[in-house]
Amino acid sequence: MFAVQAEPDDWLSRYWLAWVEWSRGDTTAALGHLEHLGMRPGQGFKWGSSWAEKTLAAGDSLKAIELLRQAVRRQSLDPELHRRLASLARNQPGLEAFAEVEAFAARALERRPRARGPTV
């Protein structure tokens, strides 16, 4: 929280804080942070036959990460999407911290059923 207060435009700090808030049960605050970042909840992501899957199959993991990041902006409450993104980003130089946040987001979303989650 202090990092966000000190650097309100630091994307990764605000993103991390959103998932910490979610894991603590404050879904209203979490959604506020995500909205500030331009993200919104949406329907679940369909990996099968997605451009990200096809791109990864073609061997371009960086492009697949970019496509999954775009998908997260539109479907921010899909734990499977965060898990896939974490898995791909974990082995990319410079994306290790981002991968950890994505893995945490996936775990936080799985622990709290959607029915008890946000009320928007």
DSSP string, 6-73: H-TT-HHHHHHHHHHHHHTT-HHHHHHHHHHTT----SPP--TT-HHHHHHHTT-HHHHHHHHHHHHH
Q: Give the sign of the dihedral formed by CA 20, CA 26, CA 32, CA 34.
A: positive
Give 59-75 pLDDT, tens digit per residue: 788 988 998 998 888 88
Q: Is the pLDDT of residue 99 over 90?
A: yes
What is the band of 47 on the pLDDT scale with cuts at 50, 70, 90? Answer: low
Give the count of beta carbons closer than 10 Å to the beta carbon of residue 9: 8
